[in-house]
Amino acid sequence: MSRRKVWTGGRNDFIRQNADRLTDGQLAQELSKGGLFISINAVRQQRRKLEILKENGRGKCVVREECIRRGKAVKRS
């Protein structure tokens, strides 16, 4: 059985650009609007593969500073 490629460059860029202002659940909701269901756990796993780490705590949208310094995530001012 073949698997479809879920994580395109555009979806990865969306995670990089919005991880600092959206929760994983909100990211999953926005990404699922394209017609393919993407779960919260799938977003969380992909975000971690992209080396974008968030501060601990429920509902926090704060990306760790070292991820921004390494250029893994975009910080909005």
Helix (H, G, I), strand (E, B) or coil at 63: strand
**C-beta atoms surrounding 32 within 10 Å:** 14
pLDDT tier at 34, thresholds 50, 70, 90: confident
Which DSSP letter does residue 62 get?
Answer: P
Q: Is the pLDDT of residue 77 over 70?
A: no
Lowest mean pLDDT among 11-15, 32-36, 51-55: 51-55
32, 44 in Cβ contact below 8 A? Answer: no
Chain centroid to Cα 38, Å, comes to 11
Q: What is the helix (H) or strand (E) element at residue 72, kind and residue range?
A: none
Which DSSP letter does residue 54 get?
Answer: B
Q: Which domains, from first to last, does the chain contain?
A: 9-69 (1.10.10)
Q: Is the pLDDT of residue 32 over 90?
A: yes
Q: What is the mean pLDDT of the chain?
A: 84
